[in-house]
Amino acid sequence: MLDNHSVLVAPWIRTFQRIAHRNNLRVLIPTLAIWGGAAGAFALSILEVAPLIQRDVLQHIPVAGSLYKARLEKAALVD
């Protein structure tokens, strides 16, 4: 009975092993990258109003960074 490896492994691990096989992961990597990029863009759009995010993250974007620099300078003049 101890020689039977499937008895020693939980059923959910056996299911995950089939999904996490190296050939299956090669197919999933582009999809996971797209979902990760979309989640990051969504998080930045939600956190865009925070000055900390504008100063530390959004100002370093090559094209749109000058927009956030101008916003922070204008906000500093108003305060």
Q: What is the pLDDT of residues 43-62, one digit of tens each?
A: 988 988 888 888 888 888 88
Token representation of residue 69: 């620099």
Whether the predicted model's global pTM rises above the 0.85 cut: no
Least confident of 7-11, 37-41, 62-66: 7-11
Q: Which amino acid is at 33?
A: A
Tokens 């490896």 correspond to: 5
* DSSP secondary structure letter of residue 68: H
Domain span at residue 37 reads: 5-78
Domain count along the chain: 1
Question: What is the reported pLDDT for 7?
Answer: 59
pLDDT above 80 (res 1): no
- The answer to whether 54 and 60 are in contact (CB under 8 A) is no
Residues 6+ apart with CB under 8 A from 71: 54
